[in-house]
Amino acid sequence: MEKVLTVENLQVSFDTYAGEVKAVRGVSFDLEAGEILAIVGESGCGKSVTSQTLMKLNPMPPARILPGSKITLDGNDIVNASEKEMQKIRGNAVSMIFQDPMTCLNPTMQVGKQLTEAIREHKNLTKEEARKEAIRLLELVRIPNPEQRVKQYPHEFSGGMRQRVMIAMALSCAPKVLIADEPTTALDVTIQAQIMDLLLEIREKTGTGIILITHDLGVVASVADKVAVMYAGKIVEEGPVKEIFYRPQHPYTRALLRSLPTTETERKERLISIAGTPPDLLNPPVGCGFGSRCENCMKICNEEQPEQFAVGENHVASCWLLHKDCPPELRGGAK
């Protein structure tokens, strides 16, 4: 299939009063047309910084994309693109659905006007043609009575409806890549399921590649094609969704999955948590970022960054436990 996005060795730092925060430390992945890639991990692992860098939304300064980073989006070099070039790329080649639609929609403007803004910016359409396109987009995201809804304001929509409007705005110029940054965080479980079904339907209809940023592994299991697990600014494991859920190889991935409740969990049973805290990225560890929290940490884990080991078809993990010389009794679930 056609690759619409290639990220190689992405490194992003923030210059703060306390020093350089190395938020993203060598992230690489590909996205194909019509594919859903889920990037998962706990808060502060670099998921949102990675996604925002794809659109150059992080203010520079304090953010810096370090030399050696490469982002190719639908043939465009993002790293070296000017702000003027990015204005043509954003919304056109890549769009984003943000976490909180109420803070992203202008409360003083009708929804239809906010939709037609992006359409008229990137497409050579008249005002009436743009209005009809806005109505079509609201129909696409299953908003009833779109002819009336385009005249309404954001406060007249429910939370789920506002998120649908954000999806319609993101799709207005038929982007090759759609980034969904925690799109269901503020929604109840029923509406979450509807939004995820909608993303699947859009993928089928448009062939758009989708990057889903989330910490909800339940959502990932139902919609993603492949999963990238991030920790301390790095991707520690990546593979097809079934491989990640049924054959997790990195201790962090296994710890995340153990923390999920299951149908067999007793009502009063305590959920398993991951002991310790993530490392300070002002002074990232020399070795494995998860070493201080890993039950099977070895001496080499604190001295060297682990290599990336192939553990299956299109399935890789960065952990010294997967090295051929590692004692079998230390490997735990890794094979």
Q: Tens digit of pLDDT for each residue in 161-178?
A: 888 888 888 888 778 899
Q: What are phi and psi of 292, to 5 degrees?
A: -70, -15
Show the beta-strand stretches assigned E in 66-121: 70-73, 76-77, 94-97
Angstrom distance (rounded) from CA 237 to CA 316? 6
64-110 per-position pLDDT tens digit: 999 999 999 888 888 888 888 888 888 888 888 887 766 778 888 88
Locate tokens 């030399």: which residue? 67
pTM of the model: 0.86
Band of residue 1 on the pLDDT scale cut at 50, 70, 90 = low
The answer to whether residue 269 scores a pLDDT higher than 70 is no
Angstrom distance (rounded) from CA 64 to CA 255? 32
C-alpha torsion angle, residues 96, 97, 102, 108 (rounded to 10): 50
DSSP designation for 99: S
A 10 A CB-CB count for 323 gives 13
Angstrom distance (rounded) from CA 278 to CA 168? 36
Show the beta-strand stretches assigned E in 274-318: 309-312, 315-317
The secondary element (H helix, E strand) that includes residue 30 is: strand 19-32
pLDDT of residue 21: 92
Band of residue 294 on the pLDDT scale cut at 50, 70, 90 = confident
Angstrom distance (rounded) from CA 183 to CA 194? 11
Band of residue 228 on the pLDDT scale cut at 50, 70, 90 = very high
